[in-house]
């Protein structure tokens, strides 16, 4: 039997990297869309790279951009994919307030470009499409927990662009009988998460603070709540959605919600450090209460313990209103009943396991940074 062919837009991102690896292991030929960049932007997928001269390649990259219809149409026509995973997006909510027009173009109209290319190329019966929809659609939530039938109320240019993408996917499904589905994914994180999203910002800061490379980290709104899962689990849901006989829309979530403040405390406790918060709003701060020597020595290293213990009582978390958003999404918590019953999907990582995976990874990354500062040479591998 010939191998299935998948096209992943956003293959260089967190989800794209995990999904590409997962599909290759399943025997797919994976084509990925990558943007031209003045610096290498393929760190997350370098372990999957194959020389263009290799015969029988199962990973092929194409230069492209979600804002370029002709480019997308040509690539989809050349690749003739069985499945398209449309993951490319300007995915940072706060940044979307600074770049609203570009976000609408890439995230909203970009989705239309993919759907319309499939239609114009007469691939509607061949190509199945997964659209990376988001729990940000619920915004000012109308129901707790949020499920597939909960009305949307987007609260950022990003979410409004994704609202268009969601509905144009539904419309192409209904109008042209396309196998086009939305995964309404709640926040999912991993050691591959972009460094400016809140979980990764925290786990990197915890690692640097523990290694005495940084005094303190400044955060935004500590009280908002998110339903966080592991990206490794969530890309499996994307795959399952496209294997269903009928296209449909699914909430993918854990059903547990946690404040940013508690995620920070959990992350410090992974290295044996107890942090408490005092004050409120912009004056809120987190300080070190105690250190568990054994846990700290095991996770960070015995050598760093004496210096760290001198910092008990120090403030390690502050608030900078620069990170507040003009409109915030206060609480997200998803009801994943439909995904559990229809897809047979369920998360395997709880928040503690996710947090541990990220903190331990970032300690290794920061130890390399410390090593480099001391004259070492660079070896980067995100998948270690
Ligand atoms: P990510 O790490 O930010 O990756 C985004 C990807 O899109 C990157 O490969 C990026 O390329 C690419 N991209 C951005 N603008 C592009 C453009 N104009 N043309 C072509 N490619 C472009 O995001 P992620 O966390 O993997 O998320 C994947 C998708 O799921 C996104 O659509 C996101 O909005 C959505 N989503 C994410 C979550 C979550 O919690 N992670 C939840 C719900 C939905 P570069 O590498 O060159 O920047
Ligand atoms: O990690 P975040 O930036 O993720 P956000 O805004 O929830 O969006 C992510 O998840 C969505 C799914 O719900 C995706 F669609 C989207 O693409 C992206 O992946 O922020 C989470 C929360 C927010 O309430 C934010 O205000 O953390 C709060 N926060 C507090 N301090 C901070 C910070 N967020 C960031 N990025 N940086 C801070 O310093």
Q: Report the pLDDT value the prediction gives residue 176, as an integer from 0 to 100.
A: 98
Q: What band does 381 get if pLDDT is binned at 50, 70 and 90?
A: very low
Q: What is the pLDDT of residues 234-265, one digit of tens each?
A: 999 999 999 999 999 999 999 999 999 999 99
Backbone CA torsion sign across 367, 215, 226, 267:
positive
How far is it, in rounded angstroms, from Cα 224 to Cα 259? 5
**How high is the pLDDT of residue 374?**
66
> Mutate which of 45, 87, 95 to test ligand 1's pocket (most atoms within 8 Å of Cβ)?
87
Contact 227, 306 (CB under 8 A): no
Task: Give the confidence band of 383 by pLDDT, cuts at 50, 70, 90.
Answer: very low
Tell me, yes or no, if 341 is annotated catalytic.
no
Q: Is pLDDT at 376 greater than 90 in this prediction?
A: no
Distances (CA, A) of 295 to 270, 306, 356: 8, 14, 12
Does the annotation count 102 as an active-site position?
Answer: no
**10 contact partners, CB below 8 Å, separation of at least 6:** 16, 33, 85, 86, 87, 88, 89, 132
- Per-residue model confidence (pLDDT) at position 309: 97
Nearest-CA neighbor of 187 among 136, 137, 141? Answer: 136
Ligand nearest to the CA of 317: 2
Section 187-210 average pLDDT: 98
Cα 10 to ligand 1 centroid, rounded to whole Å? 5
Residue of 111, 127, 134, 150 with catalytic role: 134
Instruction: Point out the catalytic residue in the list 21, 83, 136, 270.
Output: 136
Pocket flag, ligand 1, residue 229 (CB < 6 Å): no
DSSP state of 7: E
Nearest CA to 271 out of 241, 328, 311 is that of 311
Beta carbon of 106 within 6 Å of any ligand 1 atom: yes
Catalytic site residue 299? no
Asked if pLDDT for residue 380 goes beyond 70, the answer is: no
Ligand 2: centre distance to CA 198 (Å) = 6
- Relative to the CA of 196, which ligand 2 atom is closest? 36
Mean pLDDT, the chain, integer: 96
Res. 370 pLDDT band, cuts 50 70 90: confident
């Amino acid at each position: 039997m010939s191998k299935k062919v998948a096209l992943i837009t956003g293959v260089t991102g967190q989800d794209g990297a995990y999904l590409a690896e997962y599909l290759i292991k399943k025997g797919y030929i994976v084509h990925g869309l990558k943007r031209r960049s003045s610096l290498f932007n393929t760190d997350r997928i370098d372990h999957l790279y194959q020389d263009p001269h290799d015969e029988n390649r199962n990973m092929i990259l194409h230069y492209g951009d979600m804002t370029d219809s002709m480019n997308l149409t040509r690539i989809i026509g050349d690749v003739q994919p069985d499945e398209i995973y449309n993951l490319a997006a300007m995915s940072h909510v706060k940044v979307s307030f600074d770049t609203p027009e570009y976000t609408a173009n890439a995230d909203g109209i970009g989705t239309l470009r993919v759907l319309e290319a499939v239609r114009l190329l007469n691939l509607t019966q061949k190509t199945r499409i997964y659209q990376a929809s988001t729990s940000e659609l619920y915004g000012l939530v109308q129901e707790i927990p949020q499920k597939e039938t909960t009305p949307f109320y987007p609260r950022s240019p990003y979410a409004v662009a994704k609202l268009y993408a969601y509905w144009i996917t539904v419309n192409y499904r209904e109008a042209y009988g396309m196998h086009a589905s939305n995964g309404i994914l709640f926040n999912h994180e991993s050691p591959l998460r972009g460094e400016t999203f809140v979980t990764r910002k925290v786990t990197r800061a915890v690692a640097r603070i523990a290694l005495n490379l940084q005094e303190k980290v400044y955060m935004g709104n500590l009280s908002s709540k998110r339903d966080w899962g592991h990206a490794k689990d969530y890309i499996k849901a994307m795959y399952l959605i496209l294997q269903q006989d009928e296209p449909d829309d699914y909430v993918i979530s854990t059903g547990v919600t946690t404040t940013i403040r508690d995620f920070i405390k959990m992350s410090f406790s992974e290295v044996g450090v107890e942090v408490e918060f005092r004050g409120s709003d912009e004056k809120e701060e987190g300080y070190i209460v105690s250190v568990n020597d054994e846990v700290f020595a095991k996770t960070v290293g015995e050598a760093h313990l004496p210096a760290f213990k001198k910092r008990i009582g120090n403030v390690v978390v502050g608030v900078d209103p620069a990170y507040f958003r003009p409109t915030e999404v206060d609480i997200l918590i998803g009801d994943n009943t439909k995904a559990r019953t229809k897809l047979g999907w369920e998360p395997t990582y709880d928040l503690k396991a996710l947090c541990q995976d990220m903190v331990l990874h970032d300690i290794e990354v920061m130890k390399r940074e410390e090593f480099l500062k001391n004259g070492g040479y660079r070896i980067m591998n995100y998948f270690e």
